[in-house]
């Protein structure tokens, strides 16, 4: 709870209380803001500009894009859609959120303050950093994928290297083995790696040794070199570490999280806190664009229905 004096001294952007403030400008946040505007609600979207979708070379599973869509292009089209609905993006970061005595929510940004009757947390998730020299080049070439959103159909006939070191992300390896006979587990150096290997490879054949660096070959394959000096060739690398939901703001509101650290939501996207909704990767798997957009639209409709 905050004191009335805090509210009075806050310089409130827009000068009024928004029906909804959406935090995060990835596919989920943009969809939520578009739907709120289409419902005629006053809304502000705040985005700090680190959407996972920005990293997508070409997504082939987004409905309406039979030839695939570059992640950055999709975000730009969605921002255009929001502007067409007279919606605005504030490029800033929400630093903290507090509940006012009357139930409204006060959001402190780096450069100002917002007041909201409802908020929708669409803050996404981050990949744990992969400590492997050369991995950024592989990612830039679109050859590093994440098992959580990877389409099985895209793996058939490919030599897939599964980068792993922890229990969290690897249970999917059993499905992977069924889909892709040539998938092999590649251990990378991290504290938990050696100790957990035997329980996490889920029957995947394992590359001997620990990967020391990776490089792109001229024929667009990936060369993985291990600490025994041997090099192994792959068509695609899959990171199997599991994503970490960005729940810093949710924690401030004591919102309930699930065992994977994602925000627990009900069927409408409502969290355990009144007037606080969540959608997209921050609300858990499957981490996919269409899922994020769909759940955000449901949350926006619920916010609208609450008036």
Ligand X SMILES: Cc1cc2nc3c(=O)[nH]c(=O)nc-3n(C[C@H](O)[C@H](O)[C@H](O)COP(=O)(O)OP(=O)(O)OC[C@H]3O[C@@H](n4cnc5c(N)ncnc54)[C@H](O)[C@@H]3O)c2cc1C
Chain positions contacting ligand X, by CB under 6 A: 23-29, 46-53, 55-56, 59, 61, 93-94, 122-124, 146, 149, 246, 249, 280-281, 287-289, 292
Q: Which is nearer to ligand X, 52 or 275 (CB)?
A: 52
Cβ at position 284, least distance to ligand X in Å: 10
Residues 116, 17: contact at Cβ < 8 Å?
Answer: yes
Distance CA 2, CA 22 (A): 21
Cβ at position 54, least distance to ligand X in Å: 7
Cβ at position 239, least distance to ligand X in Å: 9
Cβ at position 4, least distance to ligand X in Å: 25
C-alpha dihedral over 55, 57, 58, 61, to 10 degrees? -40
**DSSP class per residue in 123-140:** --EEPPP---TTHHHHHH
Q: Which is nearer to ligand X, 36 or 59 (CB)?
A: 59
Q: Which is nearer to ligand X, 69 or 226 (CB)?
A: 69
Distance CA 252, CA 179 (A): 41
Distance CA 51, CA 89 (A): 14
C-alpha dihedral over 70, 136, 192, 211, to 10 degrees? 120
Indicate the burial class of 154 (C-beta count within 10 angstroms; 0-12, 13-18, 19 or more). middle
Cβ at position 198, least distance to ligand X in Å: 29
Q: By three-state DSSP, how is residue 250 classified?
A: helix
Q: Which is nearer to ligand X, 209 or 261 (CB)?
A: 261
Q: Which is nearer to ligand X, 200 or 250 (CB)?
A: 250
Cβ at position 49, least distance to ligand X in Å: 5
Q: Which is nearer to ligand X, 156 or 307 (CB)?
A: 156
Indicate the burial class of 178 (C-beta count within 10 angstroms; 0-12, 13-18, 19 or more). exposed
Cβ at position 57, least distance to ligand X in Å: 7
Strand 244-245 versus strand 125-126 pairing type: antiparallel
Q: Which is nearer to ligand X, 210 or 257 (CB)?
A: 257
Q: By three-state DSSP, how is residue 302 classified?
A: helix
Q: By three-state DSSP, how is residue 238 classified?
A: strand
């Amino acid at each position: 709870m905050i004191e009335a004096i805090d509210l009075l001294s806050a310089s409130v952007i827009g000068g009024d209380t928004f029906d909804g403030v959406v935090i995060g400008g990835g596919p989920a946040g943009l969809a939520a803001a578009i739907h709120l505007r289409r419902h005629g609600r006053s809304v502000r979207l705040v985005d700090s500009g680190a959407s996972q979708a920005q990293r997508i070379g070409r997504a082939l599973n987004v409905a309406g894009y039979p030839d695939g869509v570059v992640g950055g292009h999709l975000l730009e089209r969605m921002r255009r859609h929001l502007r067409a609905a007279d919606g605005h993006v504030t490029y800033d970061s929400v630093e903290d959120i507090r509940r006012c005595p009357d139930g409204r929510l006060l959001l402190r940004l780096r450069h100002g303050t917002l007041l909201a009757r409802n908020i929708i947390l669409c803050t996404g998730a981050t990949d744990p950093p992969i400590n492997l020299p050369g991995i950024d080049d592989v990612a830039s070439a679109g050859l590093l994928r994440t098992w959580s959103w990877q389409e099985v159909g895209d793996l058939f006939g490919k030599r897939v290297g599964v980068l792993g070191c922890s229990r969290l992300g690897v249970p999917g390896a059993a499905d992977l083995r069924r889909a892709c006979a040539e998938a092999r587990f590649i251990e990378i150096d991290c504290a938990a790696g050696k100790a957990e290997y035997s329980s996490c490879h889920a029957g995947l054949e394992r590359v001997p040794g620990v990967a020391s660096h990776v490089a792109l070959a001229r024929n667009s394959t990936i060369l993985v070199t291990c600490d025994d000096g041997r090099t192994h060739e792959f068509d695609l690398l899959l990171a199997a570490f599991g994503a970490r939901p960005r729940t810093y703001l949710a924690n401030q509101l004591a919102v309930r999280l699930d065992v994977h650290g994602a925000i627990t939501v009900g069927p409408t996207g409502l969290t355990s806190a009144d007037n606080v909704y969540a959608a997209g990767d921050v609300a858990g798997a499957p981490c996919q664009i269409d899922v994020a957009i769909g759940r955000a639209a449901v949350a926006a409709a619920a916010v609208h229905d609450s008036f």
